[in-house]
């Protein structure tokens, strides 16, 4: 198996010493791998998805210009990646200054702490963070704060989507309360590793050669299951994951796993970043 060559990190001490952990992360692959390897883990790298700017530059720039020239009554950011990509589009269009000024002057609601972290280097701070970093958390927060603007017209809400998913649940909630919703999808997911490499990961999981797999996005879960389905071994993969420690970076990914019949055994308690994910894995095996 060529996968053996992908395992790195020879440390024999640390809370994760000797544990073989697969990571399907792409963008911050080496960051997560380093966090695990410093605790002694042997890491199987298999980036399942890649992230690209939306190919529809015209649509994204039109949304940015609307946010600047006819400011929304509220902007909702679902991901830090989305804010970063939008700012990149603004930079390339000569709109960075007006865009950041518009964000700063518009009430903003973010799904979790990651968008706020992405905004910080640009001097922007979100007004409201959803209590739970899920669509339901956003809806609950909006139900509490309300959508009223004091104007005679319907509130206009700008929504940055997760990838290209339409998020009908959120859009329906807003529209049912009289809002005019304007969505933007500044990035999209594409397949990362070649199918043969993903197939090797599926076989390794089925053979019990991995102690854990740590998912950091819904798209990773979907790609792994899609490849297994194409190989006609989806049921075998799910059965294998029942015998393997499955870690999810947060509740959104955990819900994706559960919807596929996979129960995540490790989820960080409160902060949904890579360091807390690694800490949660360490605690799982240390029993603390």
Q: Where are the beta strands (DSSP E) in the chain?
A: 7-8, 20-23, 42-45, 49-53, 74-77, 108-110, 128-129, 156-160, 180-184, 187-191, 212-215, 245-248
Find the radius of gyration of the CA atoms of the chain.
20
At 106 the pLDDT is 96
Angle at 188 between CA 28 and CA 43, to 5 degrees: 25
Dist. CA 216–CA 78, nearest whole Å: 15
Q: Structural domains in the chain? A: 3-48+192-286 (3.40.50.10090), 52-189 (3.40.50.10090)
Quick check: 276 pLDDT over 70? Answer: yes
Q: What is the pLDDT of residues 177-190, one digit of tens each?
A: 999 999 999 999 88
pLDDT, tens only, 94-135? 999 999 999 999 999 999 888 999 999 999 999 999 988 889
Structure pTM? 0.78
Q: Which residue has the tokens 């739970």?
A: 132
pLDDT tens digits for 53-96?
999 999 999 999 999 999 999 999 999 999 999 999 999 999 99
- Asked if 37 contacts 15 with a C-beta cutoff of 8 angstroms, the reply is no
DSSP per-residue letters across 151-193: SSSPPEEEEE-STT---HHHHHHHHHTT-EEEEE--EEEEE-S
């Amino acid at each position: 198996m060529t996968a053996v060559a992908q395992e790195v990190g020879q440390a024999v001490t640390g809370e994760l010493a000797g544990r073989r952990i697969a990571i399907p992360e792409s963008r911050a692959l080496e960051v997560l791998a380093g966090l695990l390897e410093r605790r002694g883990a042997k890491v199987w790298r298999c980036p399942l998805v890649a992230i690209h700017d939306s190919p529809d530059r015209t649509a994204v720039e039109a949304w940015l210009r609307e946010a600047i020239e006819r400011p929304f009554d509220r902007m909702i950011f679902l991901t830090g990646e989305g804010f970063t990509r939008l700012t990149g589009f603004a930079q390339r269009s000569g709109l960075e200054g007006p865009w950041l000024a518009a964000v700063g002057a518009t009430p903003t609601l973010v799904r979790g702490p990651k968008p706020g972290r992405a905004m910080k280097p640009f001097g922007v701070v979100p007004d409201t963070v959803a209590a739970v970093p899920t669509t339901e958390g956003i809806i609950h927060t909006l139900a509490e704060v309300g959508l009223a603007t004091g104007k005679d017209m319907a509130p206009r809400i700008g929504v940055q989507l997760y990838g290209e998913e339409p998020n009908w649940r959120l859009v329906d909630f807003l529209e049912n309360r009289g809002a005019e919703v304007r969505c933007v999808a500044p990035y999209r997911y594409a397949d990362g590793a070649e199918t043969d490499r993903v197939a090797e990961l599926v076989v390794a999981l089925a053979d019990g050669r991995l102690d854990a797999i740590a998912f950091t996005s819904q798209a990773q879960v979907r790609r792994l299951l899609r490849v297994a389905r194409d190989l006609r071994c989806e049921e075998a993969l799910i059965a294998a994951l029942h015998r393997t420690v499955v870690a999810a970076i947060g509740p959104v990914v955990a819900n994706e796993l559960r919807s596929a019949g996979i129960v995540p055994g490790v989820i960080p308690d409160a902060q949904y970043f890579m360091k807390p994910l690694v800490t949660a894995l360490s605690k799982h095996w240390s029993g603390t």
